[in-house]
Amino acid sequence: MFSGLDDVEIGDTLVTNEAGGANAAEPLPPIAVEQPTVRMTIGVNKSPLAGREGKFLTSRMIRDRLFKELDRNVALKVEETESADKYAVSGRGQLHLTVLIETMRREGFEMEVGPPVVIYKENEETGVLEEPFEMVEVRVPEEYSGSVIDLFNTRNGELQDMGLDDGGEAMSVIKYLMPTRGMLGLRSEMLTATRGTAIIDAVFDSYREKIKGDIQSRDKGSLLAFEDGVITSFGLENAQDRGKLFVKAGDETYKNMIVGIHQRPGDLAVNVCKTKQLTNMRSATKGITVGITAPIDMSLDACVEYIASDEILECTPTKFRMAKNPDMMGKNGKKKN
């Protein structure tokens, strides 16, 4: 902490000015702060269930908190967007930004978070559009090394090295040069493919020429709520045959909220609020009971990795809800072309 000095920044060297600085030590080389590589939008929560839990809800409160973070988080960048209630926040990776979101959520903020996107740059000398690349090292048991290599190859990774760990355990060490685009959403898939045994380390490498085409990310669609209401057990019995669910009976939902993972590509609307008709007629299936599968517990990191470009994440002090972005949906509730 310095007092009485203006414009002191990270990397500056403070020396004595006695005798006009004749006795001052040589300044140390400045510290280079890594530039942001990933950007997300953070804004006001505008879902139908907004304002029920948080203490800080308005765009002014969110703006003040984000710009206050710049005083101690030197690698973070906050920019205003065309929308008055959304801000573009850039950091050194997805983890860097999710730590900030989790901190704000615990402080009582409610916010709407957009999907992570990489920051492209144009090479000043060649004029070529470049994207960030990361050097990734994975330590995994030998029997899962094939699954790890398949995941990297489908995301345009370039194998750099492969071998065995020097330790006593039979662990493979795999090194890949990966575009940051390919790293988005990769961790959860890799932990699933290796049953949680993979140890992943990634550091920024450099900016290189952008890889042409899209990188495969999510191969399955989402299950969307058909209408607003309270989720019922009867509705879940029918919906669980369509995929894996994120919600349980008694939760509140709204139209186009993501309630699960569809087992096929493409989104599907399901009526999870459907109630059983109460009549005095006997049913042939009255004695048949169907068990409800436990929902998947989605953490903040898992939600950020899951959402696609046309989806958003609603963060409150106690809940995470994913939904289709209403700004990208037409009046009939379908995605705009």
> Could you tell me if 42 and 112 are in contact, meaning their C-beta atoms sit under 8 angstroms apart?
yes
Nearest one of 282, 283, 258 to 269, comparing CA atoms: 258
- Output the CA torsion sign for 146, 151, 152, 154: positive
When the pLDDT of each residue in the chain is averaged and rounded to a whole number, the result is: 85
- Among left, alpha and beta (phi > 0; psi -120 to 50; other), residue 264 is beta
Residue predicted with more confidence, 76 or 7: 76
Q: Is the pLDDT of residue 10 over 80?
A: no
pLDDT at 32 over 80: no
CA 168 to chain CA centroid, Å, is 35
Residue 320 confidence (pLDDT)? 93
The percent of residues above 70 in pLDDT, for the chain, comes to: 90
Question: Looking at residues 322-328, what average pLDDT do you find?
Answer: 86
Q: Which of 119-123, 157-161, 176-180, 332-336 has the lowest mean pLDDT?
A: 332-336
The four Cα atoms 149, 151, 157, 158 give a dihedral, to 10 degrees, of 10
pLDDT at 280: 62
Question: Per residue in 33-57, pLDDT tens?
Answer: 778 999 999 999 999 998 888 898 8
Say yes or no to pLDDT of 67 above 70.
Answer: yes
Query: In this structure, which amino acid lies at residue 323?
Result: A
- Model confidence at 76: pLDDT above 70: yes
**Would strands 171-179 and 252-253 be described as parallel, antiparallel, or unpaired?**
unpaired
User: Could you tell me which residue, 4 or 171, shows the higher pLDDT?
Assistant: 171
pLDDT for 255: 92
pLDDT of 123 reads 87
Checking if the pLDDT of 31 tops 90, the result is: no
Distance CA 44, CA 37 (A): 24
- The stretch 224-247 carries a mean pLDDT of 90
CA angle, corner 260, sides to 259 and 264, nearest 5?
Answer: 135
Between 10 and 266, the higher pLDDT residue: 266
In this predicted structure, the answer to whether residue 321 has a pLDDT above a threshold of 90 is yes
pLDDT at res. 98 = 92
- Which position has the higher pLDDT, 335 or 319? 319
pLDDT for 251-299, tens place per residue?
999 999 999 999 888 899 999 998 887 766 666 555 555 678 888 898 8
The tens digit of pLDDT for each residue in 176-224 reads 999 998 888 888 888 888 988 889 898 888 899 998 878 777 778 899 9
Instruction: Specify the residue for token string 């144009």.
Output: 122
Measured CA to CA, the distance from residue 257 to residue 240 in angstroms comes to 16
Inter-helix orientation angle 94-107/59-69, to 10°: 130
**pLDDT top residue among 86 and 20:** 86
**Strands 222-225, 268-270: pairing kind:** parallel
Mean pLDDT (whole number) for 160-176 = 84
CA-nearest of 198, 174, 173 to 187 is: 198
SS (H, E, C) the chain: CCCCCCCCCCCCCCCCCHHHHCCCCCCCCCCCCCCCCEEEEEECCCCCCCCCCCCECCHHHHHHHHHHHCCCCCCCEEEECCCCCEEEEEECCHHHHHHHHHHHHHHCECEEECCCEECCEECCCCCCEEEEEEEEEEEEEHHHHHHHHHHHHHCCCEEEEEEECCCCCCEEEEEEEEEHHHHCCHHHHHHHHCCCCCEEEEEEEEEEECCCCCCCCCCCCEEEECCCEECCHHHHHHHCCCEEECCCCCCEECCCEEEEEECCCCCEEECCCCCCCCCCCCCCCCCCCCCCCCCCCCCHHHHHHHCCCCEEEEECCCCEEEEECHHHECCCCCECC
- For residue range 107-150, what is the model confidence (pLDDT) as tens digits? 999 999 999 999 999 988 888 999 999 999 999 998 999 999 99
